Amino acid sequence: MRIGALEAGGTKMVCAIGDENGNIIEQESFPTLSPEETIPGLVEWFRTRNIEALGIGCFGPVDLNKKSATYGYITTTPKPNWANTDVFGAFKCLGVPIGFDLDVNASAIGEYTWGIGKGLSSIVYVTVGTGVGAGVIIDDRLIHGMIHAEAGHILLTRHPSDLEYKGHCPFHRNCIEGLCAGPAVAERWGKPGKELADDMRVWELEAYYLGQMCVDFALAYSPDRIILGGGIMHQTQLLPLIRKEFKEQLGGYLKSAEIDDLDSYIVVQSMDDKQGIMGAVKLGLDAMKEA
Ligand code: ZN
What is the whole-number distance in angstroms between the Cα of residue 116 and the centre of ligand 1?
Answer: 28
Find out whether 46 and 91 touch, Cβ atoms under 8 Å.
yes
Mean pLDDT of all residues in 172-181: 96
- Is a pLDDT exceeding 90 seen at residue 157? yes
Q: What is the pLDDT of residues 93-134, one digit of tens each?
A: 999 999 999 999 999 999 999 999 999 999 999 999 999 999
Cα gap 50→70, rounded to integer Å: 28
Q: Rounded distance, CA 32 to CA 12, Å?
A: 5
- Calculate how far, in angstroms, residue 23's C-alpha sits from the geometric centre of ligand 1: 36
Ligand 1 centroid from CA 178, angstroms: 6
Pairing of strands 12-18, 3-8: antiparallel
Whole-number Å distance, alpha carbon 170 to ligand 1 midpoint, is: 7
| Per-residue pLDDT tens over the stretch 30-73 | 999 999 999 999 999 999 999 999 999 999 899 999 999 999 99
172 CA distance to ligand 1 centroid (A)?
4
Q: 80: Cβ–Cβ under 8 A, 6 or more apart, which residues?
A: none
Chain centroid offset of residue 6 CA:
14
**Residues 207-215: what's their mean pLDDT?**
98
CA of 135 to the centre of ligand 1 (A): 16
- Peptide bond connecting 183 to the previous residue in cis, omega within 30 degrees of 0: no
| Ligand 1 center–CA 125 separation, angstroms | 18
Distance of CA 214 from the midpoint of ligand 1 (Å) = 17
- The mean per-residue pLDDT over the stretch 203-216 comes to 98
288: left (phi over 0), alpha (psi -120 to 50) or beta: alpha
Gap from CA of 12 to ligand 1 centroid (Å):
23
Q: What is the pLDDT of residue 147?
A: 85
Distance, CA 213 to ligand 1 centroid (Å)?
13
Distance 171 CA to ligand 1 centre (A): 5
Instruction: Kindly state the average pLDDT of the residues 265-277.
Output: 97
DSSP label of 171: S
Q: How far apart are CA 105 and CA 276, in angstroms?
A: 8
CA distances 251 to 156, 219, 247, Å, are 16, 12, 6
Cα of 258 from ligand 1 centre, angstroms: 30
CATH numbers and ranges of domains, the chain: 3-103+273-290 (3.30.420.40), 116-268 (3.30.420.40)
Give me the pLDDT at residue 252, please: 95
**276, 103 contact by CB (below 8 A):** yes
DSSP assignment of 99-159: EEEEHHHHHHHHHHHHSTTTT-S-EEEEEESSSEEEEEEETTEE---SS---GGG-B-PPP
CA of 174 to the centre of ligand 1 (A): 7
| pTM: predicted TM-score of the whole model, two decimal places | 0.95
Residues in contact with 219: Cβ distance below 8 Å, sequence separation at least 6, in sequence order:
253, 254
pLDDT of residue 78: 78
The answer to whether the beta carbons of residues 74 and 59 sit under 8 Å apart is yes
Q: Is 56 exposed, middle or buried (0-12, 13-18, 19+ CB in 10 A)?
A: buried
The Å distance, Cα 103 to ligand 1 centre, comes to: 18
Half-sphere exposure of 100 (CA within 13 A, CB side): 24
Distance of CA 176 from the midpoint of ligand 1 (Å): 7
CA of 191 to the centre of ligand 1 (A): 21
CB contact set of 143 (below 8 Å; sequence gap of 6+)? 136, 137, 149
